[in-house]
Amino acid sequence: MTEAFRVLIADPIHEDGRKLLEACGDLSVDVATGLDEAGLVARIPKYDALIVRSKTRVTAPVIAAGAALKVVGRAGIGVDNIDVPAATERGIVVFNTPDANATTTAELTVAHLLSLSRHLPQADRSVRSGAWTPTKFVGAELAGKTVGIIGFGTIGRLVALRCAGLKMRVLAYDPFVQPDIMAQSAAEPQDLDGLLAASDYVTLHCPMIDKTRNLIDASRIAQMKPGARLINCARGGLVDEAALVDALTRGHLAGAALDVFVQEPPKESPFFALDNVVLTPHLGASTEEAQQAVSVRIAEDIARFLKTGAAETAVNLPRISSEQFGRTRPYQELAHALGRLVGALSDGPISELVVRLFGAVAELDARPITAEALVGVLDKRLAGPVNRVNAAHLARAQGIEFRESHSEHSRDYVSLIEVSAVSNGVTATVAGTLLGGRSPRLVRIDTFDVETVPRGHFLFTRHSDRPGVVGALGSILASEDLNISRMHVGVDGNGGGEAAIALISISSPISDKGLAAVRALPAVDTVVTFEL
């Protein structure tokens, strides 16, 4: 008789999730909450699966102690409390439930939308104080108003559909989502400036990454319509809180609703003194239904994985054999670099990605290589974890169609990987190979032959082939105190002589001032910086 898998639940989850696991005849379930790291290290060695929420930290020592541990499940969105790299290194699959509370967060957004429009918290406080002044709380109808949604993932799309049901005009901005995906959710694609200028309500549903930190700052708030209202149920760092306080105090914005803050809980916040802002304590996932949904979803994922090995929604990689890993790893690393490069060269959302394998590499299973190219494209565009397990799912969610092709024949190289991306009707293509079967080399960008190691910080230009361009680039980089470790001026492989490229490996990222200087060179048409 097969021994039952053992599951440890280390944080409270909804009883429906626990009952689902207990109903599986080949799973043994224990509950032990409130364990610190030492307690979990002592307890974990005999368990095959661990389920947590946000309180318990699954650290590297915990993972190292998990001699039998095969899977860790987080009943919630984030995995900040789980050492995912340590788990991946040990071949331990990590699951989360990113979409299980999407409906709840979308509904909270709509609740804030209505609350701001009708001054509900202020009216409630007024009645409780003994006043009866309905004329003081004249509100605004939502029907016919415009709502701008920044970030069009699962939650943004649910908000769009609900606002459309309220007869609102819906605008959406997300640089990585195709317009037809927006149209399916009753939204009109718009650039960020146009959205801010046209919207009566602006609601944020984008990830918190370096590029979105303080996305709504003083300058962006100034672009918003006088009397507009701002809602943030995503992440606190998306909004410059001081700039928002100023706009609310001056009356440029009529109101704001915040469920998230830079510091949580917000202590002695200037928002407390303002009557035109509604504050809630990070309630996005705080409904009975959401708690049940995340618990049941993680229980289902854990049970399915333990029984069948299925890991479609995992946030990292399952274990693969050392032989297979040894054969594919160099090509996967090359494909990742090529995917990241073609993503950097693509201006806007990518609609199609094609991975072509030539020569000896075509004899291998292309799926992990294609998946790693997708990881390279997506990992700088999305906030959540992206890996070979979930890359295809995330790509489809962004409206990216992807395919692969094989050919045993390879011109000039024993093996060659080519990655092409279509963005706004323009195709960018890069190609690379392995020297000696191990060392990656970038060998082509579009029709230009190059030869460089795809690692580190790069400056790329497309420019007219005229004297002085390379010297000017070198002077600008010198003024930026940047060392050049490698430089390659590309030659058009099709024999053209009017255009050229420069691919320069630099010691650290170039500043905005330096980029502006490069763009100002008369011969330069395109400037891109990236890290491989």
* Percent of the chain predicted with pLDDT > 70: 95
Low-confidence winner among 239-248, 281-290, 371-380 (lowest mean pLDDT) = 281-290
SS (H, E, C) 479-522: HCCCCEEEEEEEEECCCCCCEEEEEEEECCCCCHHHHHHHHCCC
| C-beta atoms surrounding 445 within 10 Å | 23
- pLDDT classification of 348: cutoffs 50, 70, 90: confident
Instruction: Please list the residues that pair with 527 across neighbouring strands.
Output: 461
What is the mean predicted confidence (pLDDT) over 393-418? 87
* Percent of the chain predicted with pLDDT > 90: 60
**What is the reported pLDDT for 336?**
94
Supply φ then ψ for residue 251, to 5 degrees. 90, 5
Mean of the per-residue pLDDT values for the chain? Answer: 89
What is the mean predicted confidence (pLDDT) over 388-416? 84
In order, the DSSP letters of 375-411 are HHHHTTT-SS---TTTHHHHHHHTT-EEEEEEES--S
Low-confidence winner among 21-30, 147-156, 279-288 (lowest mean pLDDT) = 279-288
**What is the reported pLDDT for 99?**
79
**What is the reported pLDDT for 1?**
44
Which whole-number Å values give the CA distances from 85 to 11, 51, 71, 314, 325, in the listed order?
22, 17, 13, 13, 17
Sheet architecture: strand order including 448-452: 401-407, 350-359, 415-423, 426-435, 439-445, 448-452, 484-492, 499-506, 457-464, 524-531
Distance between CA atoms of 346 and 426, rounded to whole angstroms?
8
**What is the reported pLDDT for 325?**
55
Instruction: Write out pLDDT tens, residues 180-204.
Output: 999 999 999 999 999 999 999 999 9
Greater confidence (150 vs 267) lies with 150
Distance between CA atoms of 188 and 335, rounded to whole angstroms?
34
Q: Annotate 250-273 with b (16+ C-beta within 10 A) or e (fewer).
A: eeebbbbbbbbbbeeebeebebee
In the chain, % helix, strand, coil (3-state, to 5) comes to 35, 25, 35
Active site residue 125: no
Low-confidence winner among 24-38, 88-102, 432-446 (lowest mean pLDDT) = 88-102
Annotated catalytic residue within 90, 118, 282, 455: 282
Tokens of 471: 């010297």
- Which of the four CATH numbers 2.60.90.10, 3.30.1330.90, 3.40.50.2000, 3.40.920.10 does domain 322-531 have? 3.30.1330.90
**What is the reported pLDDT for 374?**
92
Is the separation of the CB atoms in 72 and 92 below 8 Å? yes
Q: For residue 106, give the DSSP letter.
A: H
Instruction: Give residue for tokens 């940047």.
Output: 482
Strands 49-52 and 146-150, sheet pairing: unpaired
Which whole-number Å values give the CA distances from 330 to 157, 325, 340, 371, 433, in the listed order?
38, 9, 16, 14, 10
Q: Is the pLDDT at 320 greater than 60, yes or no?
A: no
Instruction: Write out pLDDT tens, residues 406-441.
Output: 888 877 889 999 999 999 899 999 999 998 878 899
What is the mean predicted confidence (pLDDT) over 109-136? 92
**What is the reported pLDDT for 493?**
55
Q: Is the pLDDT at 13 greater than 70, yes or no?
A: yes
Instruction: Write out pLDDT tens, residues 474-505.
Output: 999 999 999 998 888 876 655 555 788 999 99
The size of the chain, in residues, is 532
| C-beta atoms surrounding 130 within 10 Å | 6
Instruction: Write out pLDDT tens, residues 44-86.
Output: 999 999 999 888 999 999 999 999 999 999 998 768 789 988 8
**What is the reported pLDDT for 477?**
93
Supply φ then ψ for residue 164, to 5 degrees. -60, -35
pTM over 0.85: no
Dihedral Cα 100, 104, 107, 111, nearest 10 deg? -160
| C-beta atoms surrounding 214 within 10 Å | 15
The SS3 call for residue 219 is: helix
Upstream peptide bond of 440 is cis (omega within 30 degrees of 0): no
CATH 3.40.50.720 given to domain 5-98+289-308:
yes
Instruction: Give residue for tokens 């069948």.
Output: 308
Tokens of 6: 């053992």
Distance of CA 218 to the CA centre of its chain: 25
Q: Counting beta carbons within 10 angstroms of the beta carbon of residue 285, is it exposed (0 to 12), middle (13 to 18) or buried (19 or more)?
A: buried
For the ranges 53-62, 222-231, 314-323, the maximum mean pLDDT occurs at 222-231
The SS3 call for residue 271 is: helix
Instruction: Write out pLDDT tens, residues 128-171.
Output: 999 999 989 888 999 999 999 999 988 999 999 999 999 999 99
- pLDDT classification of 316: cutoffs 50, 70, 90: confident
Which whole-number Å values give the CA distances from 7 to 46, 69, 336, in the listed order?
9, 9, 34
Distance between CA atoms of 497 and 500, rounded to whole angstroms?
8
Structural domain boundaries in the chain: 5-98+289-308, 102-279, 322-531
Q: Measured at the alpha carbon of residue 191, what is the angle toward residues 187 and 193, in degrees to the nearest 5?
A: 120
Greater confidence (140 vs 364) lies with 140
Instruction: Give residue for tokens 């009866």.
Output: 132
**What is the reported pLDDT for 347?**
83
Greater confidence (186 vs 209) lies with 186
- pLDDT classification of 324: cutoffs 50, 70, 90: low
Annotated catalytic residue within 15, 125, 141, 264: 264
**What is the reported pLDDT for 321?**
47
Tokens of 141: 């109808």
Q: Counting beta carbons within 10 angstroms of the beta carbon of residue 294, is it exposed (0 to 12), middle (13 to 18) or buried (19 or more)?
A: buried
Active site residue 282: yes
Q: Is the pLDDT at 372 greater than 60, yes or no?
A: yes
CATH 3.40.1710.10 given to domain 102-279:
no
What is the mean predicted confidence (pLDDT) over 78-101? 83
**What is the reported pLDDT for 285?**
78
Annotated catalytic residue within 235, 297, 336, 388: 235
What is the mean predicted confidence (pLDDT) over 276-297? 89
Equal CATH topology for 5-98+289-308 and 102-279: yes
Q: Which distant-in-sequence residues (6+ apart) come within 8 Å of 36 by Cβ?
A: none
Q: Is the pLDDT at 216 greater than 90, yes or no?
A: yes
Is the separation of the CB atoms in 331 and 389 below 8 Å? no
- pLDDT classification of 317: cutoffs 50, 70, 90: low
Tokens of 173: 């901005």
